[in-house]
Structure 1
């Protein structure tokens, strides 16, 4: 029987976590029951567009993501994502359409007409779009999270990398500040790890440039990695799988561009949480990274690298 206090979400895994970063999907599913979360996957949801749909049409971006939100509304649950890009895109659409309910009802009617033509439920603006970071900080709560820690991450120095979309896409940012965020660092401390401050923690990883200005993208990512290394970080922890792709999977190429070895592990937020909750590395997909995570495990007394 489910606990009456269990937190329930309409889970939107997104594209990257079901493909190139499968370990993010794996680790999110692994930590959810330990945090008393029930995830009901939105298997009919579509790609959010990663911010590209609006280059052709704002109406396209709004309609596609109004449908995603409506799927969660049908369950009377908040939409939960673990991708800061998905959060930025879908969350911004949600804000825009909620404003349209009072300021541009004819536009919302146009969106819902398109949804109706496809046999989809209308957007009602009755739920929230929530990144797993906000769910951990705001719904689970840091105090409760701390009580669930069974393997303190003492001795591990973690550098946060927030990603652009999580901080700057929405007008209202829950539980944090868009310029001086602290939510990731607060989670690190709750898990026993030491936050590392460095120049670049709130800047762009370079992913948006990668398809047409690859070298510039790699240099941008290289500067972020070098700054974290110089500050003494054992790893970077990010709530964005696209940032993870650029900083982890492309790190060997970045090192070639920068002309120096980097070898800095990049962890997804649910992986770090899972380590502190006592899950084993294999359960969290820590062997699936391009840059080995063995140095992270070696820093932790309760894990064998």
Structure 2
């Protein structure tokens, strides 16, 4: 049994992430139990109130029970894994978490925390692909928190390939080595230095365009917001190219035959029509 943890972004800002994930899982025949009573993963509080972060992350892990838990956000993925590691490796942290969870009548659990890339790599097969993404030259944007946290991740932090493997399975031509492939999207700088954040995001799009990438795919709603929702600003202020941006689940959905409404493509703000008309 699989539990799914939505996190704040999918539920409050990036609705296309939730709708595409729900419909892709349904189409693949995956039964996912929603984490009932979930809260923020705690990541925004980690630097200012570590105990609050640890409590929130541990609480969500406990609510998932013994099921593997699928996250849909890079930040949530890393937050839950780091909290789990801390509790598992430090007796004082484990005892504190057990005490505070007991106040809610909860018991600490240790589910396996899954990233969308590793999960869909394990469940997708060529038989699922009914509308290959032929004619699309795509680039992957992993996002920092998926690979470069404090713990070993599901793929190499310096030369990952799992994401590209998925897109090739979907039928796309994949640009595996474009300059800046593993660069930050700049989103984390928006609160303190937006000019630098915009410059970083623009550089990402420019490098991808120079490598012949026709569209970028990302698993992270935070990165998606930066590259898709803010793209008009990137074009106006930084001269970035118009670049279609898709979520991983949207790319999967297109290849397994789901429609635009099922994938929330109407919420995308980048020029995805330029990409969709190339399919086939």
Structure 1: unaligned runs, 5 residues or longer: 1-7
Q: Output aligned runs, 1:113-124, within 5 Å.
A: 113-117=99-103, 119-124=104-109
Matches within 5 A, 1:80-119: 80-100=70-90, 105-117=91-103, 119=104
Structure 1 runs, 4 residues or longer, greater than 4 Å off: none
Aligned residue in 1 for 2:113: 129
CA shift, 1:10, in A, is 1.0
Structure 2 unmatched runs, 5+: none
Deviation string 1:23-42 (CA, Å, 9 cap, x unpaired) is: 01000001102223112111
Matched, 1:42 2:22: no
Determine if contact 2:41/2:57 at 8 Å carries over to the other structure. Answer: yes
Q: Distance in 1 between matches of 2:49 and 2:147?
A: 23
User: For residues 267 and 44 of structure 2, what CA distance do their matches in structure 1 show?
Assistant: 28
Give the direction of change, closer, same or farther, for the CA distance of 1:133–1:57 in structure 2 (3 Å limit). same
Cα contact 1:215–1:257 (8 A) shared by 2: no
Tell whether 2:218 aligns with 1:238.
yes
CA distance in 1, matches of 2:29, 2:181: 30
Q: Using the TM superposition, give the Cα deviation of residue 18 of structure 1 relative to its aligned residue in structure 2, in angstroms.
A: 1.4
CA contact (8 A) 1:156 1:300 kept: yes
Q: Secondary structure at the match of 1:56?
A: coil
8 Å CA contact retained: 2:86, 2:93: no
> Is the 8 Å Cα contact of residues 41 and 56 (structure 2) preserved in structure 1?
yes
The answer (yes or no) to whether the contact 1:35–1:145 under 8 Å persists in 2 is: no
Indicate the residue corresponding to 1:33 in structure 2: 26
Q: Distance in 2 between matches of 1:158 and 1:82?
A: 21
1:131 shift after superposition: 1.3
The separation in 2 between residues aligned to 1:69 and 1:113, in whole angstroms, is: 15
87-96 vs 61-70, which deviates more?
A: 87-96
Contact 2:203-2:240 within 8 A present in 1 as well: no
Alignment equivalent of 1:56, drawn from 48, 53, 73: 48
Structure-2 residue corresponding to 1:223: 203
Deviation at 1:227, TM superposition (A): 0.7
TM-score of the aligned structures, taking structure 1 as reference length? 0.88
Shift of 1:202: 1.1
User: RMSD in angstroms over aligned alpha carbons?
Assistant: 1.3
In the other structure, the counterpart of 1:10 is 3
- Is the CA contact 2:36–2:63 (under 8 Å) kept in the aligned structure 1? no
1:285 shift after superposition: 0.9
Q: How does 1:157-236 map to 2 (within 5 A)?
A: 157-174=137-154, 176-196=155-175, 197-236=177-216
Equivalents in 1 of 2:189, 2:58: separation in Å? Answer: 27
| Aligned mates of 2:275, 2:37 — CA distance in 1 | 36
Deviation of 1:261 after TM superposition, in Å, equals: 5.2
Taking structure 2 as the reference length, the TM-score comes to 0.96
1:293 to 254, 269, 272: 272
Question: Could you list the per-position Cα deviations for residues 72-121 of structure 1 after superposition, in whole angstroms to 9, with x for gaps in the alignment?
Answer: 12xx2111111111111111111222222xxxx2321111111112x141
CA drift of 1:62 comes to 1.1
Aligned residues: 279
